[in-house]
């Protein structure tokens, strides 16, 4: 019996579809790495009113730091 699959490119993916894929990869990687899973972290830059104005999203895994996203608005860039 031949399995049938549909491959779909989503330009506006749902969070539930993304969660299934991330969970599947996380479970597989944990099975290959003695149960180790990524630890996610964020670095948040806030203004004086404590509103988020930029930051970084990343994770640590097996001794590595991976930066996924860095964002700062134009007004805060190139300021050292």
The residue ranges of every structural domain in the chain are: 15-76
Share of the chain above pLDDT 90, in %: 82
- Return the bridge partners of 56, or none: 43, 70
Q: Is 0.75 surpassed by the pTM of this model?
A: no
Taking the C-alpha atoms of residue 30 and residue 20, their distance in angstroms, rounded to an integer, is: 15
> Would you state the torsion angle of the CA atoms of residues 24, 29, 30, 31, taken in this order, to the nearest 10 degrees?
90
What is the number of alpha carbons within 13 Å of residue 70 lying toward its C-beta?
5
- Taking only the tens place, the pLDDT of each residue in 55-77 is 999 999 999 999 999 999 999 89
Classified by CATH at the fold level, domain 15-76 comes out as: Aminopeptidase (3.40.630)
């Amino acid at each position: 019996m031949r399995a049938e699959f549909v491959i779909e490119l989503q330009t506006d993916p749902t969070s539930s579809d993304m969660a299934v894929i991330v969970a599947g990869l996380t479970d597989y990687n944990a099975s290959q790495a003695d149960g180790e899973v990524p630890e996610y972290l964020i670095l948040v830059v806030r203004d004086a009113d404590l509103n988020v104005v930029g930051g970084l999203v990343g994770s640590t895994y097996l001794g590595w730091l991976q930066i996924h996203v860095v964002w700062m608005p134009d007004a805060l860039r190139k300021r050292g």
